[in-house]
Structures are given as structure tokens and as C-alpha cells.
Amino acid sequence: MKFFVDTAVIEEIRELNDLGMVDGVTTNPSLILKSGRNILEVTREICDIVSGPVSAEVVATKADDMIAEGRKLAAIAPNIAVKVPLTWDGLKTCKVLSDEGFMVNVTLCFSANQALLAAKAGATFISPFIGRLDDQNIDGLDLIEDIRTIYDNYDFQTQILAASIRSVNHMSDCAKIGADVATAPAKVIKSMANHILTDKGLEQFMADWAKTGQSII
């Protein structure tokens, strides 16, 4: 499973990228707001750091305007994936831009039928939002599983990009189901390294090592 980091904060991207943990980046208007940066500038900077797909989201709602915005975003760098919402206009935009050879990430997906439409429209990525479904007492992971089944049934090449990930368990569950990509905040990716037994074990080893009176260097 590929890891995308869901942020527009350069320092977070750089730290994870240096460790080889970043296969791509996703941003959205809320993350741009949080970063306090200009969308075109920060997206360009991210594309200079990360070689994998960098999602940048259109903000128009009518297809013609979305297409124009998408082309402008795509011109930033060859690794831009234009992010469009899963609306009818978004699907039209997806079809036009993917036919022009651009990567398209169809976002705000909350049902298997929506994912089916996105694949038919030529989406490179479909982004089902797990955490926001969980917030509504609907199991977001069931949706990932359903989309996996449907895409495999018909050999759709659209990649399942599990989004709105809130916990480390979401990450391992998505990997078990077979999501192609998971995008998560840097904090969640870093927390995957944590285990209470690792901390306890290390504490014991350090205490015993101190008693040996030895040093390695």
C-alpha cells in the first residue's frame, strides 16, 4: 500500500519524505487554509520535494470552470493529480482532464455507486472518506471493501485512495483490505511506529545495559 501524506505543511512532508515514507501528497482547501500558504506556491514547493502524485483541488463548482482550474493546477508540475469533488460536474471534469492525460483524484466519495461512476469517468484515484463515514456511525472500512470488490470484478484501473484516515488501525485495516493508497495526516503515519511493548521492552533493555557498565563506542 502506498502512503500519501494529507497535509500542505512543508516541514511535515519533508520529514516523512526523507524517510521514504511518502509516495504522494494530498491537499484540500481546508488544508491550504491551515497551512496559511498560497495554493499555487505551496503546491509547486510540494512538487519539488515529492516525485509521486500531489493532489491539488479545484474550487469551482461548474464543469467549465473546474476544467480551467484543473488545467492551471496541472500546469504546476507533471506529478499533479487534479482533485475534483464527486459531483456530476466533477465527473465531467474528470472525464475531460483524464482524456487530456492528466491524473485525476475524485474526492468526497461516500458510496460504492459514486466510486463506480468515478472509475467509468477515468479517475486515476477515488478517495473514499473513512473517518467522515465513521462519524455518521457508518463503517467507512465497509466502503473500502465494497469498492475493492467492484473494481476487482471489472478490472477497473482506478486506484482506491483511502482518505479521511483518523487512526493507525485505519491504516492497517486499509492495507488488509487491499486499498492501493492511504492518505493520512503526518501524525497518524508517525504513530504507526508506536507500541507500548516496544517502549516497555526498550526501557528494560536500557536498565539492564546500564548495569553491565559497558559501552559500544
Contacts to ligand E4P by CB under 6 A: 6, 26, 28, 107, 127, 129, 131-132, 163-164, 183
CB closer to ligand E4P, 139 vs 197: 139
**Contact (Cβ atoms closer than 8 angstroms) between residue 44 and residue 76:** yes
Q: DSSP alpha helices (H): ranges in 39-163?
A: 39-49, 63-74, 88-99, 112-120, 130-135, 140-154
CB closer to ligand E4P, 46 vs 216: 46
CB closer to ligand E4P, 91 vs 184: 184
Task: At 19, list the grid cell.
Answer: 524517510
The one catalytic residue among 2, 34, 72, 83: 83
Give dist(CA 193, CA 15) in Å, integer.
15
**83 counts as catalytic:** yes
For the CB of residue 158, give the shortest distance to ligand E4P in the complex, in Å: 15
For the CB of residue 214, give the shortest distance to ligand E4P in the complex, in Å: 47
Using DSSP bridges, classify how beta strands 2-6 and 24-26 pair: parallel, antiparallel or unpaired. Answer: parallel
Give dist(CA 174, CA 124) in Å, integer.
18
For the CB of residue 56, give the shortest distance to ligand E4P in the complex, in Å: 11
For the CB of residue 81, give the shortest distance to ligand E4P in the complex, in Å: 10
Task: At 214, list the grid cell.
Answer: 559497558
CB closer to ligand E4P, 172 vs 198: 172
Give dist(CA 153, CA 132) in Å, integer.
26
φ/ψ bin of 164: left (φ > 0), alpha (ψ from -120 to 50), beta (otherwise): left
Q: Which residues are catalytic?
A: 83
